[in-house]
Amino acid sequence: MFDPAKAGVPDDLCPIAVDINPMLPGDWRSMRPVVDRDKCVKCAVCWLYCPVQCIVERPAWFDVNLATCKGCGICANECPQRAITMIAEVGA
């Protein structure tokens, strides 16, 4: 749970701001990319195009940091191997 005091939010700030819950894109994303490890050739095109730099390199493929991925689908559109599929988030 977000603690305004620990985060250094002044007490005299607007109550709405004090009550703010800083959300990462992974909290509100409606679609998520799934990488097919067998298709990925580690060309890094997805890494190049991701606007929030959440593509991470694994030993044998490129993966997605879902905490910061906003689900825009650019990586899936740009992957030359069609190794990335966008799927709906459960409950979205």
Q: What are phi and psi of 87, to 5 degrees?
A: -125, 155
Q: Which residue, 18 or 74, is less far from ligand SF4 as judged by CB?
A: 74
Residue 64's nearest CA partner among 73, 90, 88 is 73
84 makes contact with ligand SF4 (CB under 6 A): yes
- Judged by CB under 6 A, how many residues of this single chain contact ligand SF4? 26
Q: How far is the CB of 23 from ligand SF4 (least distance, A)?
A: 15
The one among 13, 17, 52, 60 contacting ligand SF4 by CB under 6 A = 52
CA dist., res. 58 & res. 77, Å (int): 21
